[in-house]
């Protein structure tokens, strides 16, 4: 799929901008702070209803404006879909699909799929476990939008259960005696059910990503140590993570039982997917705390490229994945966005990355220095300056 036209009104630094886009590679270049990332951020927003840079929508609306509009014409298998999103910070956002406003914003999910790599992704490797959990969960929902519901269920149950644990902890401290905990058993069951579903999905995803991340990293950094993804459950080392949903449900139920005393003391749910970690190893060492800056960068990029490969393989349905799509040509798959990636890579890594992604149906790249964009990614070029986007 690709975006054939992007149109912004009062989005970030743009009062209005119209950007016609072709399949293949498009590079946006121009000095710092001119609005390159803002453009690709808008494309990412059409796909995910969120920004890779900020949690809320308020910073996306141009200073002084009341609302922003992001419009994208998406072409998939020669079918066109016009997605329009109106961002109203503090109020509900609105969506239109093919000019029909009888839709909710989340109906837009799945119409456009993007994989975006940006400097912020360094946090995937160096940041807190929450960053890696979010990476997994976002990829899950990108692959199967229905899993957004599973995540929501889990979050809701977790919130309720935490509230109950908190008041139980307060009651214990205050009156010196417990409160009725029979409802906690019910919440344990809900949590274990929803948690087992989410956990099973994450484990499948990690297994699917494992060889793709290893391959992507190897291609970027052939002499580097191998990458290993290790899903570490908050249930503890000894608990097997195999056997499917029912086994995971039983394991979570048992783990919640074992943790109850401690949970009542702390007033917090200590077991479940919200406390799990995706360990990233490079060779014999964890990447976090050990890997060099360049290695962390390559690792983060490998995670995104692996996501891209996986989504592309989904689309073609073949177990061989992207190699099955044949060499060259515009091979479909999600839109790949590389924000400011080349400046950080040495010449050889740049070339390797360029060769690897050059056959994507649409690849959008940004760079402050045009010379940083490798020869293999020769495509359309836009210069971005003072909020003007001009084809060069």
Ligand X SMILES: Nc1ncnc2c1ncn2[C@@H]1O[C@H](COP(=O)(O)OP(=O)(O)OP(=O)(O)O)[C@@H](O)[C@H]1O
* Interaction between residue 234 and ligand X (CB under 6 A): no
E strand segments, 88-200: 94-97, 114-117
Contacting Mg ion within 8-37 (CB under 5 A) = 37
Q: Closest separation between CB of residue 41 and ligand X, Å? A: 7
Kindly report the backbone phi and psi dihedral angles of residue 173, in degrees, each rounded to the nearest multiple of 5, phi listed first: -65, -40
248 binds, among ligand X, Mg ion, none (CB under 5 to 8 A by kind): none
- Which of 362/366 has CB closer to Mg ion? 366
* Interaction between residue 122 and ligand X (CB under 6 A): no
Q: Which of 226, 205, 236 is nearest to 143 (CA)?
A: 205
Q: Stretches 28-36, 151-159, 187-195, 232-240: which one binds ligand X (CB under 6 A)?
A: 28-36
269 binds, among Mg ion, ligand X, none (CB under 5 to 8 A by kind): none
- Which of 45/154 has CB closer to ligand X? 45
Contacting ligand X within 261-280 (CB under 6 A) = none
How far, in whole angstroms, is CA 344 from its chain's centroid?
A: 21
- Which of 37/141 has CB closer to Mg ion? 37
Q: Are 32 and 384 in contact (CB under 8 A)?
A: no
Sheet holding 388-391, edge to edge: 114-117, 335-339, 362-367, 24-29, 380-385, 388-391
- Which of 65/330 has CB closer to ligand X? 65
Q: Could you tell me how many residues of this chain bind ligand X (CB under 6 A)?
A: 17
Strands 227-232 and 277-282, sheet pairing: antiparallel
Q: Stretches 36-44, 95-103, 171-179, 282-290: which one binds ligand X (CB under 6 A)?
A: 36-44
C-alpha 113/C-alpha 109 separation (Å) is: 8
Q: How many CB atoms lie within 10 A of CB 325?
A: 21
DSSP 22: -
> Distance between the two ends of the chain, CA-based, in angstroms?
24
Q: Closest separation between CB of residue 122 and ligand X, Å? A: 14
C-alpha pair distances (Å), 384 with each of 35, 125, 134: 7, 30, 31
* Interaction between residue 340 and ligand X (CB under 6 A): yes
Q: Closest separation between CB of residue 343 and ligand X, Å? A: 9
Q: Stretches 35-43, 74-82, 147-155, 348-356: which one binds ligand X (CB under 6 A)?
A: 35-43
Q: Which of 10, 26, 12, 79 is nearest to 360 (CA)?
A: 26
- Which of 13/376 has CB closer to ligand X? 13
Contacts of 51 (CB under 8 A, 6+ apart): 41, 44, 45, 57, 59, 60
Contacting Mg ion within 36-55 (CB under 5 A) = 37
* Interaction between residue 32 and ligand X (CB under 6 A): yes
* Interaction between residue 370 and ligand X (CB under 6 A): no
* Interaction between residue 62 and ligand X (CB under 6 A): yes
Q: For ligand X, which residue of 109, 239, 358, 368 counts as binding (CB under 6 A)? A: 368
Q: Closest separation between CB of residue 162 and Mg ion, Å? A: 38
- Which of 37/51 has CB closer to Mg ion? 37
Contacting ligand X within 42-61 (CB under 6 A) = 59, 61
Contacting ligand X within 159-188 (CB under 6 A) = none
Q: Are 73 and 80 in contact (CB under 8 A)?
A: yes
DSSP readout, 274-310?
A: GG-EEEEEETTEESTTTS-HHHHHHHHHHHHHHHHHH
Q: Are 12 and 62 in contact (CB under 8 A)?
A: yes
Q: Closest separation between CB of residue 99 and ligand X, Å? A: 27
**Residues of the shown chain interacting with Mg ion in the complex, contacts defined by CB under 5 A:** 37
**Residues of the shown chain interacting with ligand X in the complex, contacts defined by CB under 6 A:** 12-13, 32-38, 59, 61-63, 340, 366, 368, 384
């Amino acid at each position: 799929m690709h975006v054939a036209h992007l149109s912004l009104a009062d989005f970030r630094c743009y009062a209005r901008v119209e950007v016609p886009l072709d399949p293949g590679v498009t590079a946006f270049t121009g000095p710092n702070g001119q609005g390159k990332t803002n453009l690709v951020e808008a494309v990412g927003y059409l796909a995910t209803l969120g920004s890779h840079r900020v949690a809320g929508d308020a910073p996306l609306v141009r200073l002084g404006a009341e609302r922003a509009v992001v419009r994208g014409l998406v072409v998939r298998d020669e079918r066109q879909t016009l997605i329009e999103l109106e961002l109203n910070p503090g109020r509900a956002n609105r969506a239109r699909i093919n000019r029909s406003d009888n839709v909710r914003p989340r109906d837009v999910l799945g119409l456009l799929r993007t994989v975006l790599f940006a400097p912020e992704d360094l946090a995937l490797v160096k940041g807190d476990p929450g960053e890696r959990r979010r990476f997994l969960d976002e990829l899950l929902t990108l692959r199967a939008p229905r899993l957004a519901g599973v995540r929501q269920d889990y979050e809701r149950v977790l919130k309720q259960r935490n509230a109950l644990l908190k008041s139980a902890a307060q009651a214990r401290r205050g009156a010196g005696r417990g409160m009725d905990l029979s409802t906690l058993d019910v919440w344990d069951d809900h949590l274990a059910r929803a948690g087992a579903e989410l956990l099973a999905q994450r484990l499948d995803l990690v297994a699917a990503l494992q060889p793709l991340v290893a391959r992507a990293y190897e291609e970027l950094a052939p002499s580097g140590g191998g990458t290993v993804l290790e899903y570490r459950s908050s249930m503890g080392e000894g608990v097997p993570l195999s056997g499917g949903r029912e086994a995971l449900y039983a394991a979570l139920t048992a783990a919640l039982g074992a943790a109850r005393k401690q949970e009542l003391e702390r007033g917090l749910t200590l077991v479940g997917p919200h406390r799990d970690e995706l360990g990233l190893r490079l060779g014999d060492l964890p990447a976090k705390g050990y890997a060099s800056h360049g290695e962390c960068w390559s690792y983060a990029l490998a995670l995104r490229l692996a996501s891209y490969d996986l989504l592309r393989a989904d689309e073609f349905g073949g177990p061989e994945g992207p190699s099955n799509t044949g060499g060259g040509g515009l091979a479909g798959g999600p839109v790949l966005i590389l924000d400011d990636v080349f400046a950080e890579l040495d010449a050889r890594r740049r070339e390797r990355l360029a060769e690897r992604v050059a056959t994507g149906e649409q690849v959008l790249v940004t760079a402050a220095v045009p010379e940083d964009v490798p020869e293999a990614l020769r495509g359309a070029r836009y210069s971005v300056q003072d909020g003007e986007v001009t084809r060069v």
